[in-house]
Amino acid sequence: MNNLHAILIPMWDFYFLFLMIDARPELAGFSISHMVAKMEAQSPGVPEVIRVVHHQDLNKRILVALVVSSTLLGAILLFLLCVWIYRRRTSKLDDGECRKDLEVSKSTTMNPISRFNSLRLANFKGSVSMIDYKLLEAATDNFSKSNVLDEGSTGHVYKARFDDKMLAAVKRIDYGGPDAEREFENEVNWLRKIRHQNIIKLLGHCIRDETRFLVYEMMQNGSLESQLHGPSHGSALTWHLRMKIAVDIARGLEYLHEHRSPPVVHRDLKSSNILLDSDFNAKLSDFGLTVNLGAQNKNIKLSGTLGYVAPEYLLDGKLTDKSDVYAFGVVLLELLTGKKPVETMGPTQSQSLVSWAIPQLGDRSKLPKVVDPVIRDTMDLKHLYQVAAVAVLCVQSEPSYRPLVTDVLHSLIPLVPVELGGSLRITEPLHLKEPSSTRS
């Protein structure tokens, strides 16, 4: 920039001089003849002919220099204008025209990316490959039952193996109406823009008639929900692993709330949308309901999952980043207690984890009994008090009493061992059970 400045300023002076001469030709005559007179005074013996030649030569040179410099300046200005227009167009595409992008990508089914290597390309920001349906069929062994990872209400999730090497998870969404279609488009549009270590990578997508497919990186340890509430009942998750998972989730949320402009609200944070890789790194998934935090959100349809939805959103439809903080508090309570966000007590009775836990979390004598039996008495009591205090703050019914996710993150990092990405230095050996992958 400094170089450009150094070139532009003298050129601008030159150009300005040119304009002045152009407007008042007598100025040119004056300055040139003035210079010649000066020269004559300095060398009185110079003959008349040479003086005339000098006079004309100087005029010509100045004229040529002015023409060249003004052309150059014009070219530079034109170039800068092109750069400005280009940058404006690309930033618009990134933020506002993603829906249009998806429309374009829909129409590119005629030219699908059909090679396995294209999945690798999808790791670059802004690109999510359109994957050939035949490739998905081959990778999932024709969507065989043996490859089903999960049977959801709108479709199944399959394990897929591309080129006998790379594993991925394919979510198949059978026609679920306009809402499902909107969520599919929203998910593709968000995940093609977002790249973060704690947010699931979308490797590609596919549209075939009424069916939609989303191809994600494989998360070997499934969801936090199945780890905590599935057959293993949280036995693979030590206290330190649970704290690491909480920090990973907070890092993903911090990215959405603090590092995106405008801020982004996930809107459906829950343990089934937190996926765990083979090392129990946690990543946020399911961006079907995700929105930008802003005025245009006033008319957004009320959605979310019972037990995780913040009261002000449920009652008044008021959506802020603090709605995600509330849901984070519920997930933290699940990690702490091993309980589901809503426990069914009988055919007509259920109890919310928040209303059950809150009165006990504030009482230090009761607190250890609230902890998941699988990890009870395996943690430093001071750390337990701290996590309980963070959880209580996050689930406050008044949103302004809840902390920002950045504050949550900074209060949890010191509880996570350095080996797991935190700042806790442990002198005695970690009570870490070997992470056991549940999927291979």
Residue 215 found at the interface with ligand ACK (CB under 6 A)? no
Q: Stretches 26-34, 136-144, 190-198, 221-229: which one binds ligand ACK (CB under 6 A)?
A: 221-229
Location of structure tokens 């990092």: 413
Give the span between the Cα atoms of 377 and 385, in whole angstroms: 13
* Cα angle 248, 249, 251; round to 5: 65
Q: What is the SS3 assignment for 172?
A: strand
Q: Which is nearer to ligand ACK, 189 or 223 (CB)?
A: 223
Counting Cβ atoms within 10 Å, is residue 24 exposed (0-12), middle (13-18) or buried (19+)? exposed
Q: CA angle at residue 221 from 188 to 237, to 5 degrees?
A: 125
Closest to ligand ACK by CB, 146 vs 261, is 146
Query: What contacts 351, CB < 8 A, 6 or more positions away?
Result: 342, 343, 345
Q: Which of 98, 149, 336, 375 forms a contact with ligand ACK (CB under 6 A)? A: 149
Residue choice 155, 222, 307, 403 for contact with ligand ACK (CB under 6 A): 222
The answer to the question of residue 162 lying near ligand ACK (CB under 6 A) is: no
**223 lines the binding site for ligand ACK (CB under 6 A):** yes
To the query of whether residue 268 is one of the catalytic residues in this protein, the response is yes
**Residue 94 interacts with ligand ACK (CB under 6 A)?**
no
Among 218, 250, 293, 335, binds ligand ACK (CB under 6 A): 218
From 16-24, 68-76, 214-222, 320-328, give the range in contact with ligand ACK by CB under 6 A.
214-222
| Inter-residue contact 175 to 184 (CB < 8 Å) | no
Contact 240, 417 (CB under 8 A): yes
Please, what is the minimum distance in Å from the beta carbon of residue 72 to ligand ACK? 55
**Contact assessment for residue 187 and residue 214, using Cβ atoms and an 8 Å cutoff:** yes
- Within 384-403, the residues that bind ligand ACK by CB under 6 A are none
Per rule CB under 6 A, is residue 225 in the interface with ligand ACK?
yes
Q: How far is the CB of 164 from ligand ACK (least distance, A)?
A: 19
Comparing CB distances to ligand ACK, the nearer of 155 and 403 is 155
Whole-angstrom distance, CA of residue 18 vs CA of residue 174 = 70
Q: Determine if 183 is a binding residue for ligand ACK (CB under 6 A).
A: no
Q: Which of 241, 249, 240 is nearest to 269 (CA)?
A: 249
> x-or-dash pattern for ligand ACK, window 226-265, by CB under 6 A?
x---------------------------------------
Say what angle helices 98-106 and 177-193 make with each other, to 10 degrees.
110
Please give the Cα distance from 416 to 245 (Å, whole number).
Answer: 9
Contact between residue 222 and residue 276 where contact means Cβ atoms under 8 Å apart:
yes
Asked whether the beta carbons of 391 and 336 are under 8 A apart, the reply is yes
Stretch of residues binding ligand ACK (CB under 6 A), selected from 173-181, 222-230, 239-247, 421-429: 222-230
Q: Kindly state the smallest distance separating residue 375's Cβ from ligand ACK, in Å.
A: 20
Q: Residue 216, interface with ligand ACK (CB under 6 A)? A: yes
Site pattern 24..63 for ligand ACK (x: CB under 6 A) = ----------------------------------------
Closest approach, Cβ 113 to ligand ACK, in A, equals 20
325, 221 contact by CB (below 8 A): no
Q: With CB under 6 A as the contact rule, which of the stretches 55-63, 147-155, 204-212, 389-397 interacts with ligand ACK?
A: 147-155
**In 3D, which of 331, 128, 353, 366 has the Cα closest to residue 243?**
331
Radius of gyration over every alpha carbon of the chain, rounded to an integer in angstroms: 33
User: Is 219 among the residues that bind ligand ACK (CB under 6 A)?
Assistant: yes
The active-site residue, picked from 101, 248, 268, 286, is 268
Q: Judge whether 280 and 435 are in contact, CB under 8 Å.
A: yes
Binding site for ligand ACK (CB under 6 A): 149-150, 152, 157, 169, 216, 218-219, 222-223, 225-226, 272, 275, 285
Q: Catalytic residue numbers?
A: 268
